[in-house]
Amino acid sequence: MSTAHLVLTLLAAAMVAFSSVSVFVKAAWVVEPLADYGIPRSWLPWLGAAKAAGAAGLLAGIAVPFIGVMAGTGLVLYFAGALVTVIRARSYSHIPFPLLYVAPVVAALTVGFAS
């Protein structure tokens, strides 16, 4: 594992974990847009858990690369779904947010495959 891959993986895990905690504590800047997109509040624990599992999987992937690849792939799919949800809700100004969180995950996967 290269230093770049390690740094990107840690950054991605930290950002996704932050996003997960934001959902769990029901931060207004997260919960209000989700309600605007039509996401039921009952889904919040599941969405937070999915992100937390992804962050944990990225960290576990440092020791067992296959787990990191699977976690990264799952997170890419998660944030792709988030992007589709934002677009379907016609909240075009919110498109950068899922992209912001998925970018380090994609970068870590890319560098991991390249090394």
pLDDT digits (tens, 9 = 90+) for 77-94: 999 999 999 999 999 999
Residue with tokens 């440092």: 62
pTM of this prediction exceeds 0.85: yes
Contact 72, 105 (CB under 8 A): yes
Question: What local confidence, expressed as pLDDT, does residue 107 receive?
Answer: 96
The region that residue 62 occupies, defined by phi over 0 for left and psi between -120 and 50 for alpha, beta otherwise, is: alpha
pLDDT at 115: 80
The count of domains in the chain is: 1
pLDDT of residue 114: 87
Q: Which domain holds residue 16?
A: 3-114
Over 80: is that where the pLDDT of 1 sits?
A: no
Tens digits of residue pLDDT in 23-38 = 999 999 999 999 999 9
> With left for phi above 0 and alpha for psi between -120 and 50, is residue 11 left, alpha or beta?
alpha
